[in-house]
Chains A and B, each alone.
Chain A
């Protein structure tokens, strides 16, 4: 550690020289975290199985009627939002899999910085929904806390406009679970940001797969497109 970083860890042993012990600890830690991640993913999928089906049925109904999906989050969750939007819009080629209209609202740096600078950071997503969204559309917010003001503001705006609102949160669900503006709230019961996001990625993947299944069933059954 350089002197630049020493102030961060003033209580630590500066004379440590045995790297092997640390490397063994790191390997053990990685194994433990991976096991914890896998267990949480299994538990989360089991808890959310019913909600995935409910949400996917409503999303499929809206997509079939021309609905579009907007996904948004902050920081690492913005990355996860972009991944989820890309999965819906540009799925891997496979028989019966259809691309669906989905966008990440953090993708355009000009729009995000303009809104952040001109009207305030808390409005960077809600203002885009006001401009682009119609009733019949779908809004998906990704968060670990479930409390970010820009996300809760956007979800409230989406609800007012008749969008189907979906929230991904961690911990106890935060405001996503408490404020009543989220139609389908997926809560990953963990205190670790990393483990929460890993389970959220899998939930998003299962949600996408369920939407595809519901759309295929509508098509095969001759239902409304």
Chain B
């Protein structure tokens, strides 16, 4: 089942930028984008929960094997966040994040060299270039909902994170990219808070473990 549509990095970023709201602008003609920082040693799923929908999370600089970063990246879609993983060394498995900006060097000193810093500097610089093209940042400029199947708007295999039992009426309360909703979990059996489910037409149809989430 297709969980995420595939599209070039540039088009995906354009689609996301359409919805970013600048907060404050200390420099002339520079939009300031909302950004939060979470240190790796203390970060967990709470970092993802702090993001608003359509935010971009990045592990920076994070080793591909770090299970804490992987956990954040795999549950980010349930919180409406696009994931962007910046790092170096061995690459994360395919599908571990929406976008991967990687320095393919296994040298532990890579973060201390300009080559690594260059990656996120370019991201910042090119993002601001996109703001100079307002026509391409309008909702009808060809984005998530243009052509083919829209994985955001349709009910096809959306990722959900279990919050807990929904109450007297049965079902399970989950968080998805569009907010909280109640789903039927009969097909997947008992669930616990934090579990990741694939939801289709109001029902959880499968449970995602680490391997499935990063396949």
Contact = CB atoms under 8 A, between A and B. Distances in A.
A171 B1 CA distance: 53
7 contacts: A8-B25, A9-B134, A22-B14, A26-B130, A34-B118, A92-B109, A198-B114
Given A23-B8, A29-B129, A197 B117 contact: yes
Interface stretch (B43-51, B69-77, B120-128, B180-188): B120-128
B10 interface: yes
Given A19-B14, A41-B114, A198-B121, A205 B109 contact: yes
Given A5-B21, A5-B22, A8-B25, A201 B131 contact: no
A204 B112 contact: yes
Interface stretch (B78-86, B92-100, B137-145, B192-200): B137-145
Contact of B126 (A2, A16, A26, A37): A26
A36 B208 CA distance: 44
A87 interface: yes
A143 B116 CA distance: 19
B112 A19 contact: no
Interface residues of B, number: 40
B42 interface: no
Given A8-B29, A197-B121, 12 more contacts: A1-B138, A8-B25, A9-B132, A25-B129, A29-B125, A29-B126, A30-B122, A41-B114, A92-B109, A194-B124, A201-B113, A201-B116
Residue of B10, B117, B124, B125 with most partner-chain A CB within 10 A:
B117
A118 interface: no
A84 interface: yes
A17 B136 contact: yes
Interface string A30-44: 100110010001000
B170 to A, nearest CB: 40
Given A4-B22, A8-B131, A92-B108, A37 B118 contact: yes
Q: Summarize A's interface: helix, strand, loop or mixed.
A: helix
A17 B114 contact: no
A126 interface: no
A16 B8 CA distance: 19
A56 B117 CA distance: 23
B133 interface: yes
A202 B113 contact: yes
A17 B137 CA distance: 9
Interface string B1-30: 000000010110010011101100100011
Nearest to A40: B114
Nearest to A80: B117
B10 A26 contact: yes
A99 interface: no
B179 interface: no
